[in-house]
Amino acid sequence: MSGRLAGKIALVTGAASGIGAATAQLFAREGATVVGLDRQTAPAADDGVQHHIADITDAAAVDAAVQAVLAAHGRIDVLVNNAGADVFSDPLTLSDEDWERCLALNLKGAWHVCRAVLPSMQTQGAGSIVNIASVHGHKIIAGCFPYPVAKHGLVGLTRALGIEYAARGIRVNSISPGLILVPRIEAWFAREHGARERQAELLPPKRIGTPEEVAYTALFLASDEARFINATDITIDGGRSQVYHD
């Protein structure tokens, strides 16, 4: 590897699987010291990542985890907010509990981590935050409410924080993946015969994206190569969101 993150300290949420795991492992291979946060235990593996249990919806737990990283390493140069979960419901049958759960997992939790790392990034006068949003933050798919509400909010949070802290050396960008082969998508394909083929056929490249392809975009945004990119969202969906009609 080229060491594009050599000497940097990176914090990645949702690092136990999927896009988070691919990102954390790639960052480690590129020279970063990587701390992964997840409410699930990561599979036992020598992946170069320091895994810790933390629930991003618990502000106190997030603050404690960030302070532990700062105590151990002295700084946090990169934050990747990847943790989140699908919450889909009919709007008129959606419970208040599921509404709150959706916002907590997909928006408020990311804010908890941003708020925890921003003071140290301000002190050092540098930092890169990458929020993993979704194509649901730009386009609406029927039957997916209220997930798009939270992801639109995450894109808005990215832009607002990026402008707020730009003059203080902190960049905030987001990535909006489309259909990616993460474990929950693999499980869906296993349950529903023919779903993989039907979904691949909808995508212009006729294939489904991989977690590693999202991770490489996060790597670029986290690195000094992207030092003039701020308050921007990059869509990774094989061009699907540009198609007007099937």
Catalytic residue numbers read: 147
Helices in the chain by DSSP H: which ranges?
18-29, 59-73, 96-103, 109-124, 147-165, 183-191, 195-202, 211-222
Separation in Å, CA 133 to CA 25, 37, 235: 20, 17, 9
Q: What are 115's two structure tokens?
A: 């708020």
163 contact partners, CB below 8 Å, separation of at least 6: 230, 231
Could you give the CA distance from residue 222 to residue 173 in angstroms, rounded to a whole number? Answer: 9
Instruction: Tell me if 39 sits within 8 A of 55, measured CB to CB.
Output: yes
Instruction: Tell me if 150 sits within 8 A of 140, measured CB to CB.
Output: no
> What's the DSSP call for residue 211?
H
DSSP-assigned states of every residue in 48-95: SEEEEE--TT-HHHHHHHHHHHHHHHS---EEEE------B--TTT--
Question: Does a cis peptide bond (omega within 30 degrees of 0) precede residue 146?
Answer: yes
- With CA atoms as reference, report the closest residue to 182 among 6, 21, 30, 35: 21
